[in-house]
Structures are given as structure tokens and as C-alpha cells.
Amino acid sequence: MPGGDMAKPLLDHQNADSNSSLAPAAESRTIGILGSGDFARSLSMRLVCSGFKVVVGSRNPKRNASLFPSAVEVTVQADAIKKADIVFVAIFREHYTTLYDLNSELSGKILVDVSNNAEINHHKESNAEYLASLFPACTVVKGFNVISSWTLQSGPRDGNKQVFICCDNQEAKQAVAEIAHALGFTPVDMGALFSAREIENIPLRLLPAWKIPVFLALGLFLCFYTYNFIRQVLHPYIREKKNKFYKIPVEIVNTTLPCVAYVMLSLVYLPGVLAAIFQLYHCTKYRRFPDWLDQWLQHRKQIGLLSFFCAALHAVYSLCLPMRRSHRYLLLNEAVKQVEKKTDAWVEEEVWRMEIYISFGIMALGLLSLLAITSLPSISNSLNWREFSFVQSTLGFVALVISTLHTLTYGWTRAFDENQYKFYLPPTFTLTLLVPCTIILAKLFFHLSCMNQRLQRIRNGWERSRYVNFTLPRASGEFSSGESSSTV
Amino acid sequence: MPGGDMAKPLLDHQNADSNSSLAPAAESRTIGILGSGDFARSLSMRLVCSGFKVVVGSRNPKRNASLFPSAVEVTVQADAIKKADIVFVAIFREHYTTLYDLNSELSGKILVDVSNNAEINHHKESNAEYLASLFPACTVVKGFNVISSWTLQSGPRDGNKQVFICCDNQEAKQAVAEIAHALGFTPVDMGALFSAREIENIPLRLLPAWKIPVFLALGLFLCFYTYNFIRQVLHPYIREKKNKFYKIPVEIVNTTLPCVAYVMLSLVYLPGVLAAIFQLYHCTKYRRFPDWLDQWLQHRKQIGLLSFFCAALHAVYSLCLPMRRSHRYLLLNEAVKQVEKKTDAWVEEEVWRMEIYISFGIMALGLLSLLAITSLPSISNSLNWREFSFVQSTLGFVALVISTLHTLTYGWTRAFDENQYKFYLPPTFTLTLLVPCTIILAKLFFHLSCMNQRLQRIRNGWERSRYVNFTLPRASGEFSSGESSSTV
Amino acid sequence: MPGGDMAKPLLDHQNADSNSSLAPAAESRTIGILGSGDFARSLSMRLVCSGFKVVVGSRNPKRNASLFPSAVEVTVQADAIKKADIVFVAIFREHYTTLYDLNSELSGKILVDVSNNAEINHHKESNAEYLASLFPACTVVKGFNVISSWTLQSGPRDGNKQVFICCDNQEAKQAVAEIAHALGFTPVDMGALFSAREIENIPLRLLPAWKIPVFLALGLFLCFYTYNFIRQVLHPYIREKKNKFYKIPVEIVNTTLPCVAYVMLSLVYLPGVLAAIFQLYHCTKYRRFPDWLDQWLQHRKQIGLLSFFCAALHAVYSLCLPMRRSHRYLLLNEAVKQVEKKTDAWVEEEVWRMEIYISFGIMALGLLSLLAITSLPSISNSLNWREFSFVQSTLGFVALVISTLHTLTYGWTRAFDENQYKFYLPPTFTLTLLVPCTIILAKLFFHLSCMNQRLQRIRNGWERSRYVNFTLPRASGEFSSGESSSTV
């Protein structure tokens, strides 16, 4: 073979090559698989491609052999178990007991439980612990359950690379971790088999970080919608017998959305202020924040994105206003009146009010869209700490200030107009101003007073006590810009 | 040297460090390069940075030495070949024959063909096979052609990490795979040299997954545009001599876009329904879908994104409507008429119709934009299977239902209005409702009837035959949410 | 232990597993850390998780032991240094001198300087060089400063994976590189300790690639805004005493934004034309572009994204126009006039003009949004060179042509209307047309004349001289589509 003599020494380096699909490190190892479903087939394919020998144990090997790649040996279960030290158990939990007959063959083997449940905490004990209790002579390793057949076939992608593994035996865990590594995945050690429940719940999670923020947004929406409905529809109907019910689908939604967006945006920056007060009060940063504050700090990204979503919807709704029939009809009726009055329709103050608040609104939306874009994983990962903090913290605060100006100019003098207090209810915008204005004032107070300096010192590790902790300056910015710096 | 005594043992671990640009594993190896173009220079630079010795063979070494980093040895071609066992051939296919004189020196070497063609299937045989036929005493490996000079210089990025390699000799392939690995790339084994044509076509591909969906969208656009043109422009011109040609650039486009968006959205969910019927009919999931259905299932993402693009354009076009002069002039003329009539312009039914369909339209667009955002690779990769399926399958279907409501409320009673049948052509919206309504009814039927349960069982591996296949529950969701589960 | 006998041989492969958090390669090594701040704690945690033994040297070990994971040994500084060969110095530069007392213990050790500064070039010499000057008997390695405590705790993400390392001693650098690798980071060799300043400046960078484009956009905005203000507000005020100041917040911004967007878009394609002329003039591609042109070529992405941002804002501002009170009042007044005139308001030419330029505007915006989306790292990384070039170069140029048509149809015949020359200033759109039209004409000229062929030859490596360079065809496209191909 030409070139063969030089290729030899290279082969000694092959162990290093485990990340590649060409990796031959595992060449001589045999892996067993019990089961012949989608997962078993995809796993066998990937194992073969990564250089493993694969032997599949099936109850009906002749019938199922055709389902597997030809390089895979399909045989009866007992035979497959004998040939391999590591056996993937790719069958339902309900069928674990069918393996009882193979108890003696399985003894001493490493069983990899790859199963998933249909719902969170479905069974009292995790599938892996159940398997371990059935076969006490085996070492059970939980793993690969987060990987779908599809990912096995198409190769690991960025976010689906992690394989969570747990086992009571360190060496068995290591062996399975290496298989994961050889297949191109990143094994993550989750500790003892006790963690199997947690691992089994991972693929059943449904956007857990979004739950609270979404319910918060829906709750705020309902409250503000009811409030606006009472003021804008119910009040004219009861007091003046005017039918304004046509406002329900668009106009009331459009006065509700900005309230939600604005309050949510302020809720992104409120926990930062609370954390600063907490740190100033306790004069240390080494005290753990209360749980609710910690949770809040960690949900800021989701709250902010929902705020942007509401703001964007508000923009679209607003832009739709002049397109509607109702707008057209009102305009026509006004034109008829105008012709009768024969005066100039122009009201300078109203013109200025609207030009200014539209202008602020667009600016705030533009800034928020920049914040949303830098929240995309592929972009935020390419920013350094200072850049991320500048965009999310500084630009975000500017967006909050501009939103406040948008709200104030929208309100103009209405807060002081008696007629606006329908059923003694103040105009909606006045309600939303409370939190944001507090935050802006608090931030101003921190910046103007000596508090800022003190806060910096605290975040650099300073405490009231004599001893000065050594801390890197980098740590100082970490709290204010999105990550909770509470110590564990 | 301080610290030297402790650094020694660490150096033994170096083989493990092949992913790093500091990896010294390749320290003592010499790689040859023939050619002195951009690619040769970038490759030499990267090889040197990764610890290889590089010797470049040039026809004019004195002149070209200045083009290479100083660590690279630039010499005459024969000399360079002698010094290395692996030689990168970084010259045009047209000049391969100029290497004939070096036949004896090249004998037994591994030649790496990195060349590309100007167009797909330009030559009868691939460049690598051509090179192999010229130098039968060499082992030719195809590879690195998908990597640009720029990527070599700036380092591999996420999507450009894969280096496809093929060769008839396993050891030569392995050796080149290790060089790729040492340079920070992920080698992918593509089999024998026969695959070189396929590899050479990879960098020439132009968005292959988008071709069919884009032509589909353009085709639908043309059909609906013509149909709307006949109804909205030609009909009033012929029947009433009314000049409505000004509708061509904006209004007809704006009635065409939502039709395309809506039909495309329904085409995202139609193949899923067809696949379910196919599986129910054959009572198994182990039967391969027909090719057209498989293709269709794989293009759903692109069809969906084009649908969103059309929907977004439709939104922008709609919002532009009241901005136009034509809108202004029509309004003014109507105002004049209104003044003469002196009646109230308000039409309660029209108002409600428009408020409701605008409202549904915005909701559908908001949902579709969520779907589009979760289609971004960096986001979809961070979702687990259940989350991806929830967003793409459940939210997507809700978007389809809301779009249907948008269309139905837009249509209102027009489908039953004789005047709307211009040239006996029914209103456009009635045509688009066909497929989506069928899909919604089919999905409802599946959910209500016992079909759903049967489908679940089939997707869990059940077949009409007595034998129950072992399959993991995870597989059950895979078909309905974006990936074809047909077995290979 | 069951399975233990088979797990043994696997353990020999462990060195290959350095990418995994289960990697035991480093099992027996001890790493020292001086300091007990956030960074010290996070680093110790990650080191322990990756299998290292960690000994922390603290001035007050009893008090601080509770801050660290229990697996970490916290002791007095001298003791910690004795136990480890590699010592991370996680203390402020200001406190380096407090380590003087430990001079003898530190002798011969590798010190890793992980410190950052508060601002760029704050001190005359880099922290690492300062540390090296204080302890000449140690080998100082700079590194890990770009990694935040947060990244250490949560694990490396895509963009935060690189650890820049520099040191005068190759073996010490290698040892630290391996630690970085074992922790899951990608070590990048930055050369000698002299580079420490550069490394220390990395986390202080604030979007350096955006500075020039942002200032360019702001500058253009100011110029065009002033120009439009003079023409649209000042001129009617001075000449006709008309108060048009209400146009300041929205209307003038909206006539300024498209100018900025359009000029910025043309500035994306201008450097490509200049580079082509440069190459044609010098008849080679091996001549370095002037620095300003090189810089310009590298900032095209940012300029293009800012252009899209302005175009999107312009769209939102335009869509807001009919929503405003001023629009409503003007319409009402016009309606009144119309009633008096009793003529048809319809002006066919105005209608067509507006329908056409709105249509072109939406098309251009749609194309630009495709360009912006493909600029997202996660998408551009998944495109091959030809696809990226097709979208950014071909579609981008089409967007420029359509924007030009949008501008021309917006202008219509106004450029030839004397009344439009307020204060003898030509209408704004005529000013913006200059650069784009030049570019389009130059591109047309290149394509039509034999210049194109010559340019292709030059980009394939051809020079006026007799000798023909070997270059891969791939290189030919590289210049025109986003990367500077100037040789180094």
C-alpha cells in the first residue's frame, strides 16, 4: 500500500482523536443493545460509525436483523449480553421484567438505562433505580435519554451535545462517558444514581424558565384589560348609553399592551435596585439574596423579551389603527362636522403631543429590538462581559427612560383632568408610571449620592469588617448586568 | 528555566490536546504543499501555528518565499515532496499534468486534493479521481476543499468546522483526518474516493433545501396574482370601464401575499396529516414513506419560513394602505359625498368585521414570528425535543387555526354574495380555505375518534402482527413534529 | 465491583477525554490559588469538577474556608504555594506587593496572572509584566482574564470558549493551556508575555468594530437632518412665515433616516468597487490595499446592519404618518376645501408615483431583512461560501438597485422642479443618489466590458508578468463578497 509506512506512526495518536467520527480508539470494543426500536437502531448506527462493534439482542433476531445496518450483529438476547460488557437497555420500563430470565447472563455487566417517561415524576422511583433494584448484580448507569433518535442519526448539534450521566460506580460512569465522548457528545457527570430522576425529567421539561414570566404577563394583561374595559367601554355605556363595544378586539388590546410592556420592562430593572439596597443594607456582597430575589434576577431575560414582544405587538396594533373602518367612519363624520363649523381643524397642542410621543415610542422600540437581538444565544455568546453589560444594562435603562417619556408625553395633562377619572378610576398610564419612576429615581439617587461609591466597594469585596477581601475588579460589574452574584 | 521540572510530566498529556491551537502532538511531522496561491499560503500559516513543519514546493521558490511565513521552508517542488509524506496539492486541475515530471518523487506519497471546480459536475470525473488516475503510485485523499482560505486564516467557526474526507486507503484517510483535527476542524469520513465528486460539489451548492419551497412560493404568487388581477382590475375595466390599474403595485400584491402565506402554512401541516393516514392505512411505522412525502416532510421548515416572510410582507403592505395618495383621494371624495348625504357614515357590521379580522391577523403574525425565531439554529439547538415540538407543532397549529379565523372573518358573508363572483370566479379567500380546513378537520377527527390512540400505538412500534416491538416512548413524538421517522 | 474488570482498559483512554467534565487526566495534579474572591471561588469549583486537586492560599484560611467547596483545601498562602507548581494569582494588581514575603516559596513556580484592569491602558506596563518584574524567579503566564466568574460556574459557551494565553516560556504556557483545555476552554497562543497588555485589553473592549460605523451613521444623520430642517422648516418659516416646527420630531427624522440608510448601503458596496479598480490598475491581487480601504472592507457588515436598522426605523416612521393628529387635521381641512371645490380629488400621476415607490420600498426592506438575518452568526456559519456570497453580494446589490428605484420614483420629476430648490438647495434625494448610481454604473461597466474577465484572471492569481501563479479558483470569489483578500 503506498503511503502505508508513513501512516503507521500517526495511528499511535489516534486516542487523541476521539472527537472525530473517524476515531478508531474504540475499534475493538463491543457494545450490546437490547431492543430493536427506533432508538436501538439509531444508536447502533452511530456506534458502528464511531468504530464500535455492536451486538443487538432481540427476541426475534431473524425478523429484526433487516432493521439494522449490516455491520451490526443481531442475535438472541442472552447471546448479545454475553458478548458485551456494556449493554444499552433500549426497552420500555414496562418490559424490564421480561429480562428476568437473563439474570445470570446480566450479572456483572454495566447496564445503560436510556429510557424516558411519558410525564414528569410518573413513577415513584426513576426508571434507572427501578432497573437497578431488579438486577442488583449489575451496575446501572443512567444516560443518553436526552438524546433523540434523530440526533443520533444526524449527529450532535450545538445545544444537543450534552449527555447527562449518573451512576453509583465511578468506573462504570467513566466507561459510559467515554462512549458518549466517542459518539461526539459531551458527557456531564450528574453524580450518583439518585440523580436519575432529575435526568429523566430533563427531556420532559417545557420551557421552565418561561413559565413564571408568561403567567406574569398574562396576569398583567388581564388586570389592565379589565381596567381599560371598564374605563373605555363600560363607563360610556352606563353613563352616556354610548355603544363602544367595537373597541374590544383592537383598541382596548392596544391600550393594554403598552401597559404590560412598560410594567414588565420596569420589572427587569427593579430586582437590580432591590439587590443594591440589600447589599447596601447588609454592607456585604457575600450574603445570599432571598430566594425570591434570586429567582427574579434569573428571570430578567425572559421578562425583558416578553416586554419587547408586547411592545412590538403594541406597535403593530397602533399602526393598524388608521386602517380600520371605524377610523374611516369617524373621520368622515368629523369631516362633515368640520364643513359645518368652517373653522381650522388644527389644534397645535394635540399635534405636538402626538408627534412627540410617537417619536419617543419608536425610539424605545428601536432600543428594545437591539436588546432582544443581543439576547439571541449566538450573539450574546460573542460579546464580552463589558459589551453585554453595556447593551443590556445601559441601553436597557435608556430604553426604560425613553419609555417613561413616551408614557408621560402620551399622558400630557390628562392626569390632572377631572374628566379622565371615569368611575373615579385614574387614567391607566398613571398606574404604570409608579414602578418605573421609582427605579429611575433610585438609580439617580445611587449615582448622585456617595451610595454609588460605597456600592462599588461592596461589590469589590469590601465589608464593614477590617479585613479586605481580595477580589478581582471584574466581579464588580457582574451583579448589575444580568447575573446574580450571590455566593453559594 | 523556572518551572521547567514540573512542566515535564504535563508534556506527556499533549496528545490529548489535539483540539487546541497549542497542540504540539504534530510537532515533528512535516507536511508538503505544492502551489503558492492564497490557499497554499493560508494552509501553510495554519499548519505552522498548529505545530507542523511545512515545506512548500514552488516552481519559483526564490520569488515566492516572501509570500509565506518565515517558518515555512519554500523550495523547489521535487525537494519539497522528498521531505514530506503527505503532500497537499494546492494547484488547479488544469495544471495537474505539470506534475508529471515529479512522478518518481511522488511515488508512495499521500496526495491531498484540495481543489474545487467552478461549476457542479463540470468534468466527467472528479478532480481527485483524475489526480489518482495520473499518479497511480500515490494514495489520493480528497479533503479540505470546503474550507476557504479565509476560514483557514481566521480559524474554524461553528458551521464551517467540518472537513469531508474520502480515500480508498483507510490509513491515509486517518492520517489526513488527524491533520484536520489538529487544525481545529472536525473530519467527516465520506468513504471511498468515489465520493470525491460529492465532496467537490458541496462548496458549489446554493441553498439546495430552499429551491423547491422558493419555486413553490413564486408559483403560488403568480397564480394568485393573475387571479386577483383578473377579478380586481380586468373585471371592472371590461365590465364597467373603470380604470383600477393603479392597484397593480400595492393592492393586488397585498391581496396575493396573504393567500400565498396561508396556503404555504397549510402545506407545512398537510404532509403530517398524510403521513398519519399512511401509517394508519399500513398499520405500521416501519414502512418507508413514498419519496415525495419524505421530501415534503423535510422541507417543512423552509416552507414555514417562506410563509412567515409572506405574512410579514402582507402586514407591511396592509399598514402602508392608509399612507397612500389613493387612500387619501378616495377618502376626500367620500367626505364630499358624505357631506351631501348628511347621514351617519358608521356601518356597525363593517366596523366589527374589520376590528375582528385585524385582531386575528395580528395574533397569527405574532405566533408565526415566535415560530420563525425558534427556527434560528442557535435557538432551536437549545430546546429539547418536547419544547421544539410544542412550539413548532402545537403553536404552529394554533397559528393555522387563527389564520383560518382571520380569513373567515375577512371573508364574512362575501362567499355567499353573488356580486363577488366576478366572471363567475369565486372570491380568492374561498380558494385558499380548502386545504387548511381539511387539515383542521382531519386533526380534529384524529383527536376525537379512536384514531388518535391507534396512531399513538403505531408510533410506539405497534403493528397489526402479534409481535410487539420494543420502542422507546420518545419515538412517538418524532414524526408529528418535524422529522421524518421513516426507517432506512 | 461488577463491571470493574472491563472498565480497567477503558481508563487507559482517559487522556483522550480532556474535553469532558468527567476527564480524569488531571486527577493527580494540584493547582494553587491565591485569593478568595469571586473568581478564586469559581475557579476552584471548576478545577475540582474537572478532577484537579485545589489548594487555596488565604491570609485568613479559617474565616474563608467556608466560602469554598469542601473538596478544596484552604490554608495559609505559604503552605498553598509549596503544595502546587502552578499558582493562580487571583488578587488585585494593587496587592501584588503583599506577596513579597512569599518570595522564596514562589521561586521556580508558574504564576498565572488572571487579573484585569478597570480601563484600557491604565498602567504603563501590563499586570502580568508587573508581576514578572516583582518575582523574577517565577515564570509568569497571562491567561483566563477573559473568563468571568459566571462563565467558570456555568461552563463555557460558544463565544466565551477561548482563553488567550501568553508567556515567555513555552513549557509553562503549554501547562496552563492544558489546564484551560481540561476545564473545557480553547486555549489560544498569543506568544510572549509582551502580549499581556493586548490580552488584558480584550475584556475591556466595547464593540470596537461598531465605533466607526456608528459615528459614521450619526454624522450622516446630523448632516441630513440639518439639511432637511433648513429646507422643510426654516425655509417656509422665513419665506412664508409658516409654522412647520411640528415636523421636527417625526417628519424630518423620517426624511433623514432613508437618506442615511441609502448612503450607508451604498458605502457597503463602494469599497468593493474601489478594490476592483485598485486591482485592475495594479494588475495584481498580491498588492496590499491601502489601510483605509482594508479597514473599510472589514467594516462592511456593521455598515450594512446599521443601514438596515435605519431603513427599518424609516419604515416604522412612515407607517406612523397617517396615525398622527397632524395628518388628521390636514385631511379634515383638505376635505373642507374639497367640498367647496366640488371637483374630483384624484390625481392619477400622484397616485401612481406613491404606489410605485411604496412598492419598491417594501421590496428593498424585505431584501435587507434577509441580508440582516443571514448576518446572524448562527446562520452565516451554516452557509457555504457560495451561499453567503450569493445572499450578501448578489441579493445585497439587488437591494441597492431597488433602493435606487425607490428613491428615483419617490423623486419623480421633483429634481427638475424649480420650486423644490429651497434656498437654492436641491431636494435631499438628489444628493443621496450620487454614490449609489456611480456604484451601479461601475458594476455594469465591469460586467459589460472585458474588464470583468480581466478582473477574474487577476483574482485567480494572474499578473502582468510572464509567470502564472497557481491559485485555486475558490479564491476568486473571496474578495467580492465580504473578506479582504489582501495578502499579508
Q: For an interface test with B, give the residue of C27, C131, C174, C330 to mutate (most B CBs within 10 A).
A: C174
Residues of A whose CB is below 8 A from B346 = 329-330, 333
Average pLDDT over residues A238-246: 92
CB atoms within 10 A of CB A225: 18
pLDDT of A58-114, one tens digit each? 888 888 888 888 889 999 999 999 999 999 999 888 889 888 889 888 999 999 999
CB nearest A172 (choices: C7, C115, C327): C7
Single-letter residue type at B358: I
Residues of C whose CB is below 8 A from B38 = 461, 471-472, 475, 478, 485, 487
Contact B49 C365 (CB under 8 A): no
CA of A380 vs chain C CAs: smallest distance (Å): 8
Residues of A whose CB is below 8 A from B187 = 20-22
Burial of B162 from C-beta contacts in 10 A (0-12 / 13-18 / 19+): middle
Return the pLDDT at B28: 55
Return the pLDDT at A36: 85
Confirm if C11 and A163 have CB atoms less than 8 A apart.
no
pLDDT at A14 over 60: no
Return the pLDDT at C157: 62
C-alpha distances (whole Å) from C180 to each of B123, C32, C148, C244 are 47, 15, 14, 64
Q: Which residue of C has its CA nearest to A373?
A: C376
Say whether C142 sits in a helix, a strand or coil. Answer: strand
Return the pLDDT at B162: 79
Q: Measure the CA dihedral C431/C432/C438/C443, to 10°.
A: -170
Q: Which residue of B has its CA nearest to A98?
A: B470
Give me chain A's average pLDDT, please. 84
What ipTM does this complex have? 0.83
Which helix or strand (DSSP H or E) is residue A130 part of? helix A127-134
Q: Which residue of B has its CA nearest to C374?
A: B376
pLDDT of B48-94, one tens digit each? 877 788 999 988 888 888 888 888 999 999 999 999 999 999 988 88
CA of B282 vs chain A CAs: smallest distance (Å): 17
Confirm if C3 and A85 have CB atoms less than 8 A apart.
yes
CB atoms within 10 A of CB B97: 10
Q: Which residue of C has its CA nearest to A166?
A: C22
Return the pLDDT at A150: 76
Contact B377 C377 (CB under 8 A): no
Single-letter residue type at C273: V
Which grid coordinates belong to B94? 488544469
- Distance separating alpha carbons of residues A47 and A26, to the nearest angstrom: 9
Which residues lie below 8 Å from residue C474, measured CB to CB, with a gap of 6+?
B39, B116, B145, B148, B149, B203, C385
Which helix or strand (DSSP H or E) is residue B317 part of? helix B300-320
Of residues B291, B290, B268, the one with CA closest to residue B279: B290
Residues of A whose CB is below 8 A from C334 = none
Q: What are the φ and ψ backbone dihedral angles of C285, each rounded to 5 degrees?
A: -105, 5
CA of C431 vs chain A CAs: smallest distance (Å): 26
Contact A3 B171 (CB under 8 A): yes
Return the pLDDT at A5: 33
Residues of B whose CB is below 8 A from A148 = 385, 474, 478
Contact A2 B138 (CB under 8 A): yes
Residues of B whose CB is below 8 A from A6 = 85-86, 110, 175
Q: Give all chains having 3 or more CB-to-CB distances under 8 Å with chain B.
A: A, C
pTM attached to this predicted model: 0.86
CA of A66 vs chain C CAs: smallest distance (Å): 30
Angle subtended at Cα C134 by Cα C133 and Cα C139, rounded to the nearest 5 degrees: 70
Residue recorded with cell 448507569: A141
pLDDT of B124-171, one tens digit each? 889 999 999 999 999 999 999 888 887 887 766 655 677 889 999 888
Average pLDDT over residues A118-134: 87
CB nearest B4 (choices: C86, C171, C379): C171
Angle subtended at Cα B272 by Cα B271 and Cα B276, rounded to the nearest 5 degrees: 115
Confirm if C49 and C183 have CB atoms less than 8 A apart.
no
Q: Is C184 left (phi over 0), alpha (psi -120 to 50) or beta?
A: left
Q: Which residue of A has its CA nearest to C60?
A: A467
Residues of A whose CB is below 8 A from C149 = 474-475, 478, 485
Which helix or strand (DSSP H or E) is residue A57 part of? strand A53-58
Q: Which residues of chain C have pLDDT under 50?
A: 1-27, 465-488
CB nearest A37 (choices: B338, B383, B472): B472
Return the pLDDT at C483: 33
Return the pLDDT at C158: 58
pLDDT of A131-169, one tens digit each? 999 999 999 999 998 888 877 877 666 556 788 899 998
Q: Which residues of chain B have pLDDT under 70?
A: 1-28, 155-160, 460-488
Q: For an interface test with A, give the residue of C12, C36, C38, C338 to mutate (most A CBs within 10 A).
A: C38
**pLDDT tier at A267 (50, 70, 90 boundaries)?**
very high
Residue recorded with cell 467594516: C299
Q: Give all chains having 3 or more CB-to-CB distances under 8 Å with chain A.
A: B, C
pLDDT at A350 over 80: yes
Residues of B whose CB is below 8 A from C137 = 2
- Distance separating alpha carbons of residues A107 and B83, to the nearest angstrom: 56
Single-letter residue type at A263: V
Q: For an interface test with C, give the residue of B95, B320, B339, B383 to mutate (most C CBs within 10 A).
A: B320
Contact C309 A366 (CB under 8 A): yes
Radius of gyration of chain A (CA): 32
CB nearest C335 (choices: B6, B313, B335): B335
pLDDT of A423-463, one tens digit each? 889 999 999 999 999 999 999 998 887 788 888 878 766 66
Percent of chain B with pLDDT over 90: 50
Bridge-based pairing state of the strands C86-89 and C30-34: parallel
Q: For an interface test with B, give the residue of C83, C170, C251, C470 to mutate (most B CBs within 10 A).
A: C470
Q: For an interface test with A, give the residue of B89, B183, B406, B471 to mutate (most A CBs within 10 A).
A: B471
Residues of B whose CB is below 8 A from A335 = 335, 338-339
